[in-house]
């Protein structure tokens, strides 16, 4: 089974829509900047990949994750030619940190906030009239997990069209906990490089419209061929090669593709020593003689948490469409486990591409892997 992706939308620190994000990735423009709203005196690390949308420098405001979500959904719905009113369409949102940033501002600064604003139901209803809305808090693979559920809804005949989204802003608690254990904060994110020193959080939202059949007279963005989801059941913060390998193999089996048929892999590639080593090892093992192009976006977008998987998927679709693969910015000396892998670095790679794999792994060992194909 395969389902058309009929629309896509994205916002990140490097662009306000899909075109701008993709252009920034190809041109190597980074969203990394000094902290925009957190009190710099309280943190060792001084940089994040924030979206620059706050009304005044140094002042934070609640509801930003919701704002980015609504914008990504609006873009995707418009791209798919859906009406403004989404009443009959389920909207599935994967997020690492929900509106926990607003919760923080409520607790610390007394900003008005209620328990019903932790999730996105009310916002999606008042903006789009959507009533079948769902917020999944699944760490960094949340949006691809939501995509798996959308797949099941279509396959079980419970929906004709589903919107899947991911969104996250940086919370002080998550940034602070990372800061507590990162004594020497990385100056940049360098996925799959020997010199990588860790990840830096980012902000973003992404959305796709998934249908049972393509809209009449409209060419889909691409095709979703499978999504596999599982859990390492191993460790809270460290990835486990066995779980990652099982998710990758399952995604390929469900899509009925061989490693040789995959032309491109969008890596999770966070720039942490352990994730990249594990992912490189599993990738080398699963693909063996096959040599797909490998890339990742986080050196320029930061780790956008729950929205990361879907953002990667949309970039993959754009690469399949254009035949252009953006490089892994900052990668100069590949890690030893990645020797022999076709890591794209230096500049964009061009060539015909048909099928891509998208990796997304999260805290708690929650793994999601999707296979997509180009529209042609």
Partner 1 sequence: MNPVAMTGLSVALPGVDRPRGLLEPVAPDAAPVDPAALIGKKGLRYKDRATRIGLHLAFAALTDAGLLDDGRLRAPGDRIGVVVSSNLGNADTVCRAVETIAKETTSGLSPMDTPNASSNIIASETAIRFGLRGPNLTVCNGAGSGLDAVRWAGLMVRSGRVDHMVVVGVEPDNPVTRRLVGGPVADGGAALVLSRSGETSPARPAKALLAAGTRTAQSGTAPRRPAGTTPGTALRLTDEPDHVPPGEPSLDLTGWGELSGALGVVQCVAAAAWFAAGGAGTAHAVAGGAGVTLLAPGHAS
Q: Which residues bind partner 1 (CB under 8 A)?
A: 39, 41-44, 87, 90, 96-98, 100, 103-104, 107-108, 114-116, 118-119, 121, 125, 131-139, 142, 145, 148-149, 152-153, 155-156, 158, 171-174, 176-181, 229-237, 243, 246, 362-366
Closer to partner 1 at the Cβ: 98 or 318? 98
Q: Element (H or E) spanning 228, and its range?
A: strand 222-231
Closer to partner 1 by Cβ: residue 45 or 358: 45
Shortest separation between residue 25's beta carbon and partner 1, angstroms: 27
We find the least distance from the C-beta atom of residue 373 to partner 1, in angstroms, to be 21
| Phi, psi dihedrals of residue 127, rounded to the nearest 5° | -80, -45
Give one DSSP letter per residue of 75-137, joined into a string.
Answer: HHHHHTT--S--TTS-EEEEESSTTHHHHHHHHHH-----GGGSSSHHHHHHHH---SEEEEE
Q: Which one, of 309, 294, 320, lies nearest residue 370 by Cα?
A: 309
Six token digits for residue 177:
């906990």
Rounded Cα distance, 369 and 254, in Å? 11
CA–CA separation, 360 and 268 (whole Å): 5
CB of 2 closer than 8 Å to CB of 224: yes
Q: Measured from the CB atom, is 121 or 263 closer to partner 1?
A: 121
- In angstroms, rounded to a whole number, what is the distance separating the alpha carbons of residues 1 and 223? 10
Nearer to partner 1, 105 or 315 (CB): 105
Compute the least distance from the CB of residue 172 to partner 1, in Å: 5
* Closer residue to partner 1, CB minimum distance, 104 or 193: 104
- CA distances for 95 relative to 112, 189, 279, angstroms: 22, 21, 22
| Min CB(139)–partner 1 separation in Å | 5
Shortest approach of partner 1 to residue 131 CB, angstroms?
Answer: 4
Which residue number, 293 or 368, has a Cβ lying nearer to partner 1? 368
Tally Cβ neighbours within 10 Å of residue 269.
32
Nearest-approach distance from CB 198 to partner 1, in angstroms: 13
Residues in the chain: 376
Task: Find the shortest distance in angstroms from Cβ 116 to partner 1.
Answer: 6
Six-digit token string for 306:
């729950």
Closer to partner 1 by Cβ: residue 156 or 216: 156
């Amino acid at each position: 089974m395969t389902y058309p992706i009929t629309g896509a939308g994205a916002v990140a620190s490097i662009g306000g829509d899909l075109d701008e994000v993709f252009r920034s990735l190809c041109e190597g423009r980074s969203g990394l900047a000094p902290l925009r709203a957190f009190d710099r005196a309280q943190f060792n690390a001084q940089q994040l990949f924030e979206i620059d949308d706050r009304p005044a420098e140094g002042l934070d405001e609640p509801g930003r994750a919701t704002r980015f979500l609504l914008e990504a959904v609006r873009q995707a719905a418009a791209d798919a030619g859906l009406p403004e009113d989404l009443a009959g369409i389920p909207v599935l949102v994967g997020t690492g940190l929900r509106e926990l940033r607003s919760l923080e501002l409520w607790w610390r600064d007394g900003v008005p906030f209620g328990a019903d604003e932790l999730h996105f139901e009310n916002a999606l209803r008042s903006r789009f009239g959507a009533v079948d809305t769902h917020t999944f808090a699944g760490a960094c693979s949340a949006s691809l997990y939501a995509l798996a559920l959308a797949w099941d809804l279509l396959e079980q005949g419970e929906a004709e069209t589903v919107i899947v989204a991911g969104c996250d802003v940086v919370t002080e608690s998550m940034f602070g906990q990372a800061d507590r254990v990162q004594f020497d904060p990385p100056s940049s994110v360098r996925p799959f490089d020997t010199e990588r020193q860790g990840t830096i959080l980012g902000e973003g939202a992404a959305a796709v419209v998934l249908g049972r059949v393509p809209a009449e007279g409209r060419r889909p963005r691409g095709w979703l061929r499978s999504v596999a989801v599982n859990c390492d059941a191993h460790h809270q913060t460290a990835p486990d090669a066995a779980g990652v390998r099982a998710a990758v193999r399952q995604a390929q089996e469900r899509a009925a593709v061989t490693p040789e048929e995959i032309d491109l892999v969008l890596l999770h590639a966070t720039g942490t020593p352990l994730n990249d080593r594990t992912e490189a090892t599993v990738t080398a093992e699963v693909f063996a003689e096959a040599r797909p192009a490998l890339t990742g976006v986080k050196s320029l977008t930061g780790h956008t948490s729950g929205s990361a998987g879907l953002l990667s998927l949309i970039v993959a679709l754009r690469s399949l469409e254009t035949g252009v693969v953006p490089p892994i910015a900052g990668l100069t000396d590949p890690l030893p486990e990645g020797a022999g892998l076709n890591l794209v670095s230096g500049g964009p790679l061009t060539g015909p591409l048909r099928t891509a794999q998208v990796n997304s792994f999260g805290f708690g060992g929650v793994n999601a892997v999707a296979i997509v194909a180009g529209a042609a």
